[in-house]
Structure 1
Amino acid sequence: MKIPFLIFSILIPAAFPTSADGKQIVLETGQLRVEFEISDEKTLSLKEMGMKDGSWVSPLGGELFPTEPHRDGNGPRYQGPIEWRLPNGDRAAELLYESHEIQEESPAVRHLVVQLRERVYPLEVELHLRAYKDVDVFEQWLVVKNGLSEAIYVPRLDSMYFQAEAERSIFLEWYESDQKNTAGYPVREKLGMGMRRLESRDGNRHKHGPIPAFVLGFGDQPGESEGGCMIAALDWMGSSRFSFETNSEQILETSVGVNQPGQPLVESGGQLSSPVCVFTLSGKGKGPASRGLHDWAREHFLKNGKRIRLVDNNSWEGCRMKVSEDAILKMMEDSAGLGIELYVLDDGWFGNGKEARVNARAGLGDWQFNTKRFPDELDAIMKRAAELDIEFGIWFEPEMINEKSKLFAEHPEWVMRYPDRPLAEQRDQMVLDVANPAVQEFMFESVDRVLTKYPGIRFVKWDANSNINNVYSPYLGKERQGDLLNAYMGGYLNVMRELTERHPDVDFQACAAGGGRADLGAMRYSHTFWPSDDTDPLYRLGAQWNFSNFLPANTITAHVTHKGEGYGTKFRFDVSMMSQLGMEVDTRKSEPEYLEASEVGIAAYKRIRNIVQLGDQFRHAHPHDSETPSLNYVSKDETRALVLAYQTGELEEPLAFSSPVSGLDPAQSYQLTEINLPEADGSPRVVSGIASTKSGAEWMAEGIPLRFTNQFDSAAVLLEAVGSNPGGSRKQ
């Protein structure tokens, strides 16, 4: 496999030039409209962004590339989206409009490219804005081109920049990614005077820090169905920086980009691209915006975005590294009996001798099967999997290395490390220098070798349990350390692209000690992500909810485990039904009642997973705001719906609760069926005696009447179209 050094070039299809009237540029989706304005001085500004029909207009606007030197007297000094340093020390940037064109990439996709030039020096900047008409989503990024005879440094090249009038309140909502209960709670704040900056600094992930996405609310804190808002997410999985600064003139300046640890170098004649920022807007709350992003991801972004994700069982939570051929065969057989479709062998299968992976201190980098634990590698396991009609998956951590490994002894130069400092380890491991093409080749071959030998493998869990702690690439050398993050991400994405193209039937999961890769950057060549190492269902209820603002349900892995106390198995399954349901249990140690309830829950999920994974999601009260959070999903043809409702507060007596329903066809009749009622917990939550068939309008007006009897109670209700309502009602 030949892997290029960087992937940040822009490939532009054939285009036809478009001229507005010399003053305005307009780009539209089905419902949204963006209008730019070119001044007489050739500066480019955002004039308007909002609903195409004029029903709602955002407060976004203003100059897109504020100039330095500043030529507006005592006015505010804006930072803009670009910082560069020229060979003579000049840092100024005066970008003037040159031309633009709108390219038709497909009937649903338009791509605007605006060319700007620096007033004094032969430097060019391209503003790219791609509009997806069918889903009301935009992608934006910038490209810098160096026409000088010498290299320039570009310490900051942000993906998206805008100003906004802040005389009315502007609210920010964002989410952490750590499993210590931070990803489960939304951080909501009203932006005041001064700077608010969100940064992650982990390098190759965002384990400690915000996920690279946010919600802005204009005027009021946006709800699910009310309030104007923007939702934005960065197509980037490493360190990011989002800044929000309100000045004395009540103008908010927002910039979204990479948190570079150094200054990237752009050679003479070269170019540098920012990552893509994906965003959408809504005048009616977060719900419509999220559903647009979900459709965009499934239709336009994810590989196999509409391929159904299987119900899996992963070995990690149940038995950690105590894996062997016999153990996996037994757990795989038990899992198949429960209706599980995919068994995943996690950590502990590789390394030999003193470097055997029997604990976290050894083996990473030695991707050969442990001959004591797996004497025939996967031969017997794959044969038995075929007999059981169950798929098989396996765990890798190709970016990482233990010092106690054969790979480290053979290639110490492949490890990221400062030239004269001792290695800093995290979890007894270090990060490989993924900027190095030889390392990329090794990563690819390590995974490809196993997938090629065992073409029946359906799933790869790709983990990344360490930050970049030794922030120095021996391959890049002392002059190019500013390119470290771009080169690392480029190498990673090249490997993933090659693997997904070579093995198109394999689903890849992005994991990083929990939710450190819960982002679009990792999902570009992955199919699911692991939201958190904390699988406590109450915590997961909030975490899965928060991540659903940006990513569709079929990307969010939601495992049922034994973690946490006080939860019934039904509650655990009802929480995991929100997304891509799976399990993480040692079936050999599980109680019969737990396994019986699991069999019922798995069967129930299979019945409705098409609705969850491919349908429209309607969230109601957030778990952080209500003790009775609920949400529902509706199939695209509006013939089926799933309602999930939870009771998380302490109860002294039974609680009557009407769970909201949204998105149904008002004129269609729907019949109600309660699902996931295991024998040991089989009391219906739907109130007895109600009409089981009503019109969509009635269900949406009245909700689903439920009766909860204890803390951590829950209900899963299926609504299915039965034709026009004849006027009579069958009783449940």
Structure 2
Amino acid sequence: MGKRWVYCAVIVGMALPVAWGANERIKLETANLRVEYAVTKANVLELKAVGLRDGSWTSPLGGRLFPFEPAAEPAGNNNGPRYAGPIEWRLPNGDRAIEMVYQSHAVKEERPGVRHLVIQLRDKVYPLEVELHLRAYAEVDVFEQWQVVKNGLGQPIRLPRLDAMYWHADAKTPIFLEWYASDQKDTAGYPIREQLGRGTRLLESRDGNRHKHGPVPAVVLGFGQQPHETEGPCMIAALDWTGSSRFGFEINSTQILETGIGVNQPGQPVVEAGQSAASPVCVFTLSGKGKGPASRRLHDWARNHFLANGKRLRLVDNNSWEGCGLKVSEDAIIQMMKDSAELGIELYVLDDGWFGNGKEARVNTRSGLGDWQFNSQRFPHELDAVMKAADQLGIEFGIWFEPEMINENSQLFKQHPEWVMRHPNRAFSKQRTQMALDVANPAVQKFMFDAVDRVLTKYPRIRFVKWDANSNINNGYSPYLAPERQGDLLNAYMDGYLKVMRALTEKHPNVDFQACAAGGGRADLGALRYSHTFWPSDDTDPLYWLGAQWNFSNFLPANTITSHVTHKGKGFEPKFRVDVSMMAQLGMEVDTRKCTPDYLDACRVGIATYKQVRDIVQLGDQYRHAHPFDSATPSMNYVSKDQTRGLVLAYQTGSVAKTAEFSAPVSGLDPERMYRCTEVNLPEGDKRPRVAAGCKPSQSGKAWMEDGIPLQFTRQFDSAAVLLEAVR
């Protein structure tokens, strides 16, 4: 198949191609959804229907998948609108036209419940082929789609754009868009909702190796109305890609929506003669009844089919960064490990500041990146003493790396200045006083792997790696790639990054890797292909995190979202902080030596509580209720897969003049079972109940779902955690 810059699954034992007559249909179905194609008399491929399998709802998606000429009007004068299509190529003779005709298709059952459709197309004039791939996961109602271009010419071609997903849709009925930004200050905590109108709406990330200052590469589309949790037909689509992305939506003069989802290429990648290139994968699902069912489908798909160790419980951790910054040492870490173990924390993570020596020691952010040797003054025994203490305490250990980056003040820069991306004859453009390494270079890839592998191999007890990326690709020129191949830079960088991550996770399967990029710049499926969790934001104010975690949960399951209890933000008591972090993978980010006894006591109770319910949160079904952007009393609940236990989390974010009474909704219980209600996470200094005195101690799942749980809040930034357990 040739080299593929981005991930594309290889089909083993593909069924023989099958042709069908004009206007016949081909369907790929899951338990509840269907995607249907047809071939016209002119051998043009069309998307005919996407919707519910029982026919009760069909989305407005459809139309030609590779449009060439303008659509013919009824009079036949071919004066309709022109479409961008899903592919752009540049041939050696300058031709850009694309006129794909259907050749054949094949469907293969890769494993029980997973079917893979490949449709083969060929350009009418040139020996250029396109494969359209669609994979269906039956039990979770999720699809994956991507494209492959094969160059049968005797010369290279350029490929500026190769979308993973492309469709037309009838926009006479309104179409609504919901998306989320990545910036840590404010925007990731708020949903951006809009009705698509005439013209183009373009969501682009241009950061290169992440999406820190762009949109999260996932969207929600509502058909006919802005989708809510339980009402409004919708689609959720997420791109398996962690760099610059492009989501384009254009409604033309005939009220047809054209949508393309793919990589936002800064150049024109080259496909050699006889070689192929693949788009990333776009993962999508649909729901006739709001975002909630669609999200739960994506959560199950991720845990069951996508994530490495997707059902392995994530540990409660404490990270040194927000409490200590760069001021770390062997003695300090051992003391904080002791304090953390006493709180019930299971994993201590040593963040930045442990490496570099001499003038390049990592004592500030201007030096040391790239010199992954332990600082001999701060860690004179490397990790020997730390690991001995961890053994004695029975606590796991983790460590921070930023292998893609370099400081100019480092031994690595002096030894290998050619490993740094840099525009010829121009000064460096730095971000946070650092630059990105040329990850397209195999020598750099080997260096990255060796740096991390050396520490993990010497200390096999390490359970966790926080992998950071604090800079964009700001000097977008690869010294390794030839001048005429600079258009391949983004693809080659991502290919190198994923190769390193794949090799590390395969060699160290018991290590959990966290994707961080100055916060939420890698909150996406692309990074999670070889990571286990991601860091949502460096702004750990709990009110902000409440919204950010909520938004990310639309397409990512709770066990991928790390949520730390910190001291950031004013007016929040420890219980509120813990209840917010219980929404996901709870942890802490504090210097335990500086915490008050009351704070530590509340965290100790919260950690013990979370351990009792984390399997419900991380592996169960999530039901979101009023969004914190829309309501002063947002809440959600989780239900175990066997429906024997549930956890309700509710928050009071608005001001309270007097006692505020609120009934927290409950969903997902077995209506026939009886459930006992118990309020949990009540620290010693804050034992007043939030559950109203008149609440029944137990009743049927049907009654809880009809009545909710009556709560009372006496102040702003109050919260409640309520456990529901089946008694019969």
Same fold (TM over 0.5): yes
Which segments of structure 1 move beyond 3 Å, counting only runs of 4 or more?
Answer: 4-10, 17-21, 68-72
Q: SS of 2:727's equivalent?
A: strand
| Unpaired runs of at least 5, structure 1 | 724-732
The correspondence of residues 701-720 of structure 1 with structure 2, limited to 5 A, is 701-720=706-725
Does residue 129 of structure 1 match 2:138?
no
The correspondence of residues 721-732 of structure 1 with structure 2, limited to 5 A, is 721-723=726-728
| Letter of the 2:681 counterpart | N
Q: SS of 1:687's equivalent?
A: coil
Report the CA distance between 1:122 and its aligned residue. Answer: 0.3
- Give a deviation string over 1:518-561, Cα, whole Å, max 9, x none: 00000000000000000000000000000000100000000000
> Which residue of structure 1 aligns with residue 285 of structure 2?
280
Does residue 34 of structure 1 match 2:35?
yes
Count matched residues.
Answer: 720
> Which residue of structure 2 aligns with residue 43 of structure 1?
44
> Which residue of structure 1 aligns with residue 12 of structure 2?
13
Report the CA distance between 1:580 and its aligned residue. Answer: 0.3
2-structure distance, mates of 1:138, 1:475: 37
Does residue 202 of structure 1 match 2:201?
no
| Letter of the 1:268 counterpart | A
2-structure distance, mates of 1:480, 1:620: 50
> Which residue of structure 2 aligns with residue 223 of structure 1?
228
Residue 92 of structure 2 is aligned with which of 87, 90, 94? 87
| Letter of the 1:355 counterpart | E
| Letter of the 1:245 counterpart | E
CA contact (8 A) 1:360 1:427 kept: yes
CA contact (8 A) 2:128 2:152 kept: yes
Report the CA distance between 1:17 and its aligned residue. Answer: 3.5
> Which residue of structure 2 aligns with residue 564 of structure 1?
569
Report the CA distance between 1:689 and its aligned residue. Answer: 3.4
Report the CA distance between 1:90 and its aligned residue. Answer: 0.4
The correspondence of residues 103-142 of structure 1 with structure 2, limited to 5 A, is 103-142=108-147
2-structure distance, mates of 1:9, 1:347: 34
2-structure distance, mates of 1:294, 1:386: 35
2-structure distance, mates of 1:11, 1:29: 21
Q: Normalising by structure 1, what TM-score?
A: 0.97
> Which residue of structure 1 aligns with residue 186 of structure 2?
181
> Which residue of structure 1 aligns with residue 102 of structure 2?
97
Report the CA distance between 1:11 and its aligned residue. Answer: 1.5
The correspondence of residues 329-408 of structure 1 with structure 2, limited to 5 A, is 329-408=334-413
Report the CA distance between 1:284 and its aligned residue. Answer: 0.5
1-structure distance, mates of 2:535, 2:144: 25
2-structure distance, mates of 1:301, 1:65: 29
1-structure distance, mates of 2:350, 2:9: 38
> Which residue of structure 2 aligns with residue 436 of structure 1?
441
Report the CA distance between 1:20 and its aligned residue. Answer: 7.3
| Letter of the 2:665 counterpart | P
Report the CA distance between 1:210 and its aligned residue. Answer: 0.2
| Letter of the 2:412 counterpart | L
CA contact (8 A) 2:663 2:708 kept: yes
CA contact (8 A) 1:68 1:93 kept: no
Does residue 328 of structure 1 match 2:333?
yes
The correspondence of residues 135-534 of structure 1 with structure 2, limited to 5 A, is 135-534=140-539
> Which residue of structure 2 aligns with residue 730 of structure 1?
none
- Give a deviation string over 1:685-718, Cα, whole Å, max 9, x none: 0011321110000000000000000000100000
- Give a deviation string over 1:491-521, Cα, whole Å, max 9, x none: 0000000000000000000000010000000
1-structure distance, mates of 2:558, 2:9: 30
- Give a deviation string over 1:224-278, Cα, whole Å, max 9, x none: 0101000000000000011000011111000001000000000100111000000
2-structure distance, mates of 1:285, 1:6: 36
Q: SS of 1:205's equivalent?
A: coil
**Over aligned residues, Cα RMSD in angstroms?**
1.1
1-structure distance, mates of 2:14, 2:476: 41
2-structure distance, mates of 1:5, 1:106: 24
2-structure distance, mates of 1:326, 1:543: 35
CA contact (8 A) 2:681 2:721 kept: yes
2-structure distance, mates of 1:537, 1:54: 43
CA contact (8 A) 2:679 2:720 kept: yes
CA contact (8 A) 1:243 1:254 kept: yes
> Which residue of structure 2 aligns with residue 60 of structure 1?
61
> Which residue of structure 1 aligns with residue 588 of structure 2?
583
CA contact (8 A) 2:481 2:489 kept: yes
2-structure distance, mates of 1:70, 1:147: 29
CA contact (8 A) 2:70 2:79 kept: no
Report the CA distance between 1:68 and its aligned residue. Answer: 4.9
2-structure distance, mates of 1:691, 1:394: 47
Report the CA distance between 1:437 and its aligned residue. Answer: 0.3
Report the CA distance between 1:67 and its aligned residue. Answer: 1.0
Q: SS of 2:323's equivalent?
A: helix
> Which residue of structure 1 aligns with residue 666 of structure 2?
661
2-structure distance, mates of 1:458, 1:620: 35
| Letter of the 1:11 counterpart | V
1-structure distance, mates of 2:682, 2:363: 40
CA contact (8 A) 1:36 1:44 kept: yes
CA contact (8 A) 1:9 1:272 kept: no
Report the CA distance between 1:12 and its aligned residue. Answer: 1.2
| Letter of the 1:39 counterpart | T
- Give a deviation string over 1:205-224, Cα, whole Å, max 9, x none: 00001010000000000010
Kindly, what percent of the aligned residue pairs are identical?
73
> Which residue of structure 1 aligns with residue 541 of structure 2?
536
> Which residue of structure 1 aligns with residue 687 of structure 2?
682
2-structure distance, mates of 1:229, 1:547: 17
2-structure distance, mates of 1:140, 1:584: 38
CA contact (8 A) 1:6 1:491 kept: no
Report the CA distance between 1:5 and its aligned residue. Answer: 9.1
CA contact (8 A) 2:4 2:276 kept: no
Q: SS of 1:17's equivalent?
A: coil
- Give a deviation string over 1:332-388, Cα, whole Å, max 9, x none: 000000000000000000000000000000000000000000000000000110110
- Give a deviation string over 1:620-660, Cα, whole Å, max 9, x none: 00000000000000000000000000000001000110000
2-structure distance, mates of 1:671, 1:203: 51
Q: SS of 1:161's equivalent?
A: strand
Residue 574 of structure 1 is aligned with which of 574, 579, 589? 579
CA contact (8 A) 2:70 2:78 kept: no
1-structure distance, mates of 2:548, 2:655: 21
Distance change (3 Å), C-alpha of 1:6 and 1:127? closer
Q: SS of 1:171's equivalent?
A: strand
Does residue 594 of structure 1 match 2:594?
no
Q: SS of 2:183's equivalent?
A: coil
2-structure distance, mates of 1:635, 1:515: 28
